[in-house]
């Protein structure tokens, strides 16, 4: 898709110093594994893909910043906090050293819909994407990433206890795009490892 990596939401960004948090360290451990496995990275056209987040409070979460997919190693300067969001208005309020990932609304939809979930990993993997499309519920094919429509689709799927239990969704309208989720970072990572077997 020609608009991969493009931020499609409205945002109010308050630039703030990097946050010091154990959660960032935990996220970074998984981010390193996902990057090494090629599940987060940069495509042949130089466009970064993949992002990860974890919940701080009810509807507040830490997420990797925009345009960080291509970076091998991240530090606190590459994470930011979504402090508020409105899915119906396609808008976010952000506080941190960097703009939030273009997939932030998808993460927000997970946190708003499922209070039991506290970590979301968005990865790309063509073979796994096709396997998930063939075997599990997925978002509608015409729905693009980073949009209110995608947030609505994610919320629709997570209202099904079976989807909530399986912990993974293929984004049919976002080629190779997969969302895994869990009660914490380890749980989200283990869902991916269950399917791939090499994290």
The residue count of the chain comes to: 199
Please tell me the predicted confidence (pLDDT) of residue 7: 61
Model confidence over 179-189: pLDDT tens digits?
Answer: 999 999 999 99
Please tell me the predicted confidence (pLDDT) of residue 148: 84
Q: Supply the pTM of this predicted model.
A: 0.93
**CA pair distance 145, 20, nearest whole angstrom:** 29
> Which residues 6+ apart lie within 8 Å of 137 measured at CB?
157, 160, 162, 163, 169
Question: Does the residue 5 lie in any domain?
Answer: no
7 to each of 74, 163, 168, 193, how far by Cα in Å? 20, 27, 23, 29
Model confidence over 60-81: pLDDT tens digits?
Answer: 999 999 889 999 999 999 999 9
Q: How many domains does the chain have?
A: 1
Please tell me the predicted confidence (pLDDT) of residue 73: 94
Question: Does the residue 46 lie in any domain?
Answer: yes
Question: Does the residue 76 lie in any domain?
Answer: yes
Question: Does the residue 111 lie in any domain?
Answer: yes
Range of the domain at 152: 10-196
Please tell me the predicted confidence (pLDDT) of residue 2: 39
Question: Does the residue 4 lie in any domain?
Answer: no
Question: What's 68's domain CATH number?
Answer: 3.40.225.10
Please tell me the predicted confidence (pLDDT) of residue 109: 93
Question: Does the residue 1 lie in any domain?
Answer: no
pLDDT tens, residue order, the chain (199 aa): 334 455 667 788 999 998 878 889 999 999 999 999 999 999 888 888 999 999 998 889 999 998 899 999 999 999 999 999 988 888 899 999 999 988 899 999 999 999 999 999 999 999 999 999 999 999 999 998 878 888 889 999 999 999 999 999 999 999 999 999 999 999 999 999 999 988 6
Please tell me the predicted confidence (pLDDT) of residue 43: 87
Question: Does the residue 128 lie in any domain?
Answer: yes
Question: Does the residue 2 lie in any domain?
Answer: no
């Amino acid at each position: 898709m020609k608009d991969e990596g493009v931020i499609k939401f409205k945002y109010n960004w308050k630039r703030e110093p990097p946050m010091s948090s154990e959660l960032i360290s935990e996220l970074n451990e998984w981010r390193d594994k996902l990057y090494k496995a090629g599940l987060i990275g940069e495509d042949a056209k130089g466009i970064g893909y993949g992002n990860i987040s974890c919940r701080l409070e009810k509807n507040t979460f830490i997420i990797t910043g925009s345009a960080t997919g291509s970076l091998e190693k991240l530090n606190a300067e590459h994470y930011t906090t979504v402090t508020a969001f409105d899915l119906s208005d396609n808008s976010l309020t952000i506080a941190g050293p960097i703009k939030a990932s273009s997939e932030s609304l998808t993460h927000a939809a997970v946190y708003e819909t499922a209070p039991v979930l506290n970590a979301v990993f968005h990865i790309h993997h063509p073979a796994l994407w096709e396997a998930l499309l063939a075997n599990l519920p997925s978002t509608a094919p015409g729905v693009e990433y980073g949009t209110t429509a995608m947030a609505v689709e994610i919320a629709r799927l997570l209202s099904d206890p079976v989807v909530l239990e399986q912990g993974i969704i293929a984004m049919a309208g976002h080629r190779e795009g997969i969302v895994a989720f869990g009660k914490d970072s380890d749980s989200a990572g283990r869902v991916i490892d269950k399917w791939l077997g090499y994290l």
